[in-house]
């Protein structure tokens, strides 16, 4: 399934609008957390080739999913008593529901910029990459360890 091509500015605008409406009810740490992540999104827009900017924005979006669940579950009972509170809580919940889809779109943009997901199977163990380093007990030994550049092409050294 192909993800739709959505501009990062549209994602930022939608989440900024929903966060602003959510701040009618959930102020303080809800506002600080979400607006800080939106600032990382502005950084990702400003530096179009930066993998770090889009990666930090993606990580921040994932973090705010969990933080928003906590904020809404703690403070929803105070917000649901009046109409403006219900509206603000509804917009915060709508923003929370859109964030996983936004994470998928931002992850696609992260991959387009050359980023990789840092979670790998070898995260907790030694890496399986093989380098040019050759160990002492290696079975691959050079053909003639005393060969120099002048007589590298000769099979038998002269002078015997």
Q: How far, in Å, CA of 88 to CA of 27, rounded?
A: 10
Q: How far, in Å, CA of 133 to CA of 142, rounded?
A: 14
Q: Which two tokens stand for residue 61?
A: 């979006």
Strands (DSSP E) along the chain, which ranges?
Answer: none
Per-residue pLDDT tens digits for 113-154: 887 776 655 555 555 555 566 667 656 655 665 656 555 555
Q: Smallest Cα–Cα separation from 41: which of 99, 125, 83?
A: 99
Question: What is the structure's pLDDT at 85?
Answer: 85
**What residues contact residue 113 under an 8 Å CB cut-off, 6+ apart?**
49, 50, 51, 54
Of 146 and 14, the one with more pLDDT: 14
Q: Which two tokens stand for residue 39?
A: 């600032």
Q: Which two tokens stand for residue 119?
A: 């979670």
Of 17 and 80, the one with more pLDDT: 17
Per-residue pLDDT tens digits for 24-71: 888 888 999 999 999 999 999 999 888 999 999 999 999 999 999 999
pLDDT higher than 60, residue 82: yes
Question: What is the structure's pLDDT at 6?
Answer: 76
Question: What is the structure's pLDDT at 42?
Answer: 94
Of 20 and 153, the one with more pLDDT: 20
**What residues contact residue 26 under an 8 Å CB cut-off, 6+ apart?**
71, 72, 75, 79, 88, 89, 92
């Amino acid at each position: 399934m192909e993800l739709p091509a959505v501009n990062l500015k549209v994602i930022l605008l939608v989440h900024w609008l929903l966060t602003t409406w959510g701040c009618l009810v959930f102020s303080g740490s809800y506002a600080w957390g979400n607006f800080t992540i939106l600032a990382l999104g502005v950084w990702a827009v400003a530096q179009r080739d930066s993998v770090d900017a889009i990666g930090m924005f993606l990580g921040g979006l994932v973090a705010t999913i969990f933080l928003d669940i906590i904020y809404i579950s703690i403070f929803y009972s105070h917000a649901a008593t009046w109409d403006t509170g219900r509206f603000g809580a509804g917009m915060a919940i709508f923003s929370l529901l859109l964030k996983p889809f936004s994470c998928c779109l931002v992850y696609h943009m992260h991959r387009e910029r050359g980023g990789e997901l840092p979670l790998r199977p070898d995260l907790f163990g030694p890496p399986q990459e093989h380098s040019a380093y050759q160990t002492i007990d290696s079975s691959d030994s050079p053909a003639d360890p005393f060969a120099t550049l002048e007589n590298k092409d000769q099979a038998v050294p002269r002078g015997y």
